[in-house]
Structure 1
Amino acid sequence: MTTPLLRQSWTMSAVLINMFGQGLVLSYPSSLLPALNQPDSPIKVDLHTSSWLGSIVGVAGIPGFLISSLLMDLYGRKTTHGLVILPAVVGWLMIYYSTDITVLMIGRFLCGISSAATVSLGAIVMGEYTSPKYRGVFLYLKNASVCMGAMFMHIISRFLHWRTISLVAMSPLLIALGIIYTWPESPAWLLSKQKYNRSEKAFFWLRGNCEESRREITETIKAQKERMAKPKLQLTYSEEISDFFKKFTKKDFVKPAIIMVLATVVLEMSGRHIFPAYLLYIMAEITGESSQSFYYTLGSDVIITASALFASAFVNVADDDDEEANSKMINE
């Protein structure tokens, strides 16, 4: 009989494998652009076009975030996670069969949609499918998986053609799709749709049918029923719009928003998306030795990945210390 941790790990493996695939998406320009700049390349690019091939993934992130936000509320976490991976599968196929820059650009755009959509959705899935004890570790492993994907891309770029790499990069997405098929739907989403029996069944499958789990899901269902039983205020159309925008002025929105903006600024200023795509170029410019830039890049990838893995282990130790301290306070 499988344990709750094993079931949660199996479920999260789809997210982590998919994140590995998104690391390949981010780092693909390090393989693609040098090949297209070769004199014998069948597809010619200039500096402007090369810049767009690298950055269009970020542009595609805007519709990607919006699409996942809408779909996850309408169709649930499981179905949405499978759907938003499909654009990247199509994108990699378009890149493999591309004969001009337009098809390449569309393929990269589709990969960018999936990348952004699954980044936000993956974090929500981890929050709803895992127990608080393991949640922090899985969230940090999500970042480590992206770093591993970037490192793997830089390694295979030295040995494989860019078309072959597009097929290799599609493989993790197909594996993730297969695992997602075995998921139950999110208990939290089922609960929001008032599907209480299915929510309870999915919750027990993920967290185990122990006394603590039964108490938690019973209290959650009770709170949801009480919330749904409250009469809804009948508002006019203008009042609904006004009420919607008022939410953006509340402290429980403003404070997390400021924290997220600052964290994102620090992340981007640290080269979160610049390094995976252009690290080979950066190292060649810094060292002045293009022939050795691969080894410098590999060294940087090892440091970045090791740091992400260290953070995953460290947050688990910190969570254990917090639980121990809380237990002592309760006992006292």
Structure 2
Amino acid sequence: MSETIEKRKQKMSPFFRQVVAVSGVVLYMIGTGANIAYPGVLLQQLRLPDSAMRLTPDHESWIASILGLALISGILVAPFSLQKLGRKLTNQLSTLPAMGGWALLVAAKGPAALLASRSLQGFAMGLQAAAAPVTIAEYSSPKYRGAFLATIAFSFATGMLVAHIFGTLLYWRTAAVACGSFYAVSLILISIPPETPPYLASKGKNNECRKSFRWFRGNDENSEKELEVLLNSQKKYTPKVALFTFYRQMITKPEFYKPTVIMMFMFVLFQISGMTVVPSYTVPMMEEVSGGTIEAYTSMLMVDVVRFLTAVIACIVVNKLRRRTVLFVGIIVSVVSLLTAALLLYLRDLGYLPEEYKWTPVVPTLLYIFGKTLGILPIPWAIAGEIFPLAYRSIGSGISGMFLSVMFFVVVKTAPTSFRQIGINGTFCVYGISIAICGVFLFFLLPETKGKTLFEIECHFRGEREKELNEKDVMLELRKVEEG
């Protein structure tokens, strides 16, 4: 019997095991996408005359934006949880407040309960925002890491599409039950794989690390070499100092502050591109962009389908092309599309667009959705999982995640005011110029990480070469495997 089980284990390829491990996080992030997009259908239904619950415009903006504030609490907890409890348990625990938030939303009788439910969801999202890229990167071999990290973007897009479909076809409480079910399945899948090898290595659990690494990567010669690099790097670089001294030294090290600055710009770019604004306010935004020529829910689903299909393409593109190439193509397409859409909207407002061409701003708007989903959505999450050294990965993810959450709140909370005061066209101009500014900084700051092991990326920021670390031969062998 035991021999049969062992044979089955051997038949399961390392790639398939990595897919199983990553799929639990992917389902969680689908739930996150649904969290972000759900106000787009919830608020639309609650505005109907026969709605049992009445909301003010202020209530609506808080329901859409409070996720950003609640994210902060989750992100503050995440570094300690990732470091003390590990990646696996952090992922498991984060599903509980998420499911609780959806359950409370289903039972909500007034605005206060809606805000409380969204706060629980935001706390869970904060934990997962720090944990997801780290966990996926540590589960994955370098050859597949880009594609697996790009599934975060795919998951967001899928969750947004699912939430809008459920919200279009179902009553909002029923739609909430359907959206919340993703977390239950996620919890089951997250519980299958072992703890990540780098975390076990960082804790000095070498035997467990070896078992976990072989579960994910197999035990061929090249995998064994990579395993030894991982274990030896921790022996050499794990600090043996007091906690205060560790943090004081940490902030002066280039392998910590350089990735942190890069991720700050990455997540500011992510939010200022309208990544979370568009799903929350798709219907009113597209009503304005189309000039009322396209039915509201139809235009919403058009945006969702473009986003979803582009996210599928991004999973392939991110693994095939250089990270920088994908990011800057997305930035250029987004900036040009936003400014073009703004120009067409200005011309329409001034009466220079004939009545039969009122819909034309829809085209650059959909191109903007394509551009930001292709490059601006997946690359920050891919880089977040790769760029921090193991010793500072939990802390770095938490600090950069703070920028993500603060910008989430600021951008989504101010969006209704921005739409009213300067219009959709003015808002598009602000987003386009902001994306361009962030893009300029990242052009000079961001290194290429595609095809490199996590240890090689750490060496880059430390300013060391593999030969200086007596790892040159091993690294050359690893690169051959990755390129193959």
Look up the match of 1:29.
39
Distance 2:53 2:122 in 1: 21
Q: Deviations over 1:239-294 (max 9, x none)?
A: x6476245334433332233222222322222100011110121123334397021
Partner AA of 2:312 in structure 1: L
CA shift for structure 1 position 100: 1.7
Look up the match of 1:299.
302
Distance 1:215 1:252 in 2: 24
Contact preservation (8 Å) 1:287, 1:293 = no
Look up the match of 1:258.
261
Q: Are 1:82 and 2:92 an aligned pair?
A: yes
Residues 106 and 178 of structure 1: CA distance in aligned 2, closer, same or farther (over 3 Å): same
Distance 2:167 2:291 in 1: 20
Distance 2:258 2:235 in 1: 29
Greater RCO, CA 8 A, separation 6+: 1
Distance 2:261 2:226 in 1: 31
Counterpart selection for 1:170 from 165, 171, 180? 180
Distance 2:268 2:189 in 1: 34
Equivalent runs, 1:70-149 vs 2, <5 Å: 70-149=80-159
Corresponding residue SS for 2:68: helix
Residues 116 and 125 of structure 1: CA distance in aligned 2, closer, same or farther (over 3 Å): same
RMSD between aligned alpha carbons?
2.3
Residues 90 and 294 of structure 1: CA distance in aligned 2, closer, same or farther (over 3 Å): same
Distance 2:245 2:200 in 1: 29
Distance 1:274 1:88 in 2: 21
Q: Deviations over 1:298-329 (max 9, x none)?
A: 1122222222222221122237xx76xx75xx
Equivalent runs, 1:59-70 vs 2, <5 Å: 59-70=69-80
Distance 2:53 2:123 in 1: 24
Contact preservation (8 Å) 1:68, 1:84 = no
CA shift for structure 1 position 58: 0.8
Look up the match of 2:206.
196
Partner AA of 1:275 in structure 2: V
Distance 2:293 2:111 in 1: 26
Contact preservation (8 Å) 2:145, 2:319 = no
Distance 1:242 1:192 in 2: 18
Q: Are 1:314 and 2:317 an aligned pair?
A: yes
Q: Are 1:187 and 2:197 an aligned pair?
A: yes
Look up the match of 2:67.
57
Q: What TM-score results when the alignment is normalised by the length of structure 2?
A: 0.62
Look up the match of 1:269.
272
Distance 1:223 1:275 in 2: 43
List structure 1 segments (4+ residues) > 6 angstroms apart after TM superposition.
none
Residues 177 and 290 of structure 1: CA distance in aligned 2, closer, same or farther (over 3 Å): farther
Look up the match of 1:43.
53
Corresponding residue SS for 1:185: coil
Contact preservation (8 Å) 2:197, 2:210 = yes
Distance 2:200 2:269 in 1: 36
Contact preservation (8 Å) 2:34, 2:163 = yes
Corresponding residue SS for 1:54: helix
**Alignment coverage as a number of residue pairs:** 318
Report the more deviating stretch, 287-296 or 151-160: 287-296
Q: What TM-score results when the alignment is normalised by the length of structure 1?
A: 0.89
Partner AA of 2:66 in structure 1: I
Contact preservation (8 Å) 2:198, 2:230 = no
CA shift for structure 1 position 127: 1.1
Residues 36 and 308 of structure 1: CA distance in aligned 2, closer, same or farther (over 3 Å): same
Partner AA of 2:38 in structure 1: Y
Counterpart selection for 1:216 from 226, 240, 249? 226
CA shift for structure 1 position 183: 1.5
Distance 2:206 2:244 in 1: 31
Structure 1, unaligned runs of 5 or more: none
Partner AA of 1:32 in structure 2: L
Residues 309 and 218 of structure 1: CA distance in aligned 2, closer, same or farther (over 3 Å): same
Distance 2:127 2:276 in 1: 16
CA shift for structure 1 position 195: 1.3
Residues 86 and 243 of structure 1: CA distance in aligned 2, closer, same or farther (over 3 Å): closer
CA shift for structure 1 position 224: 2.7
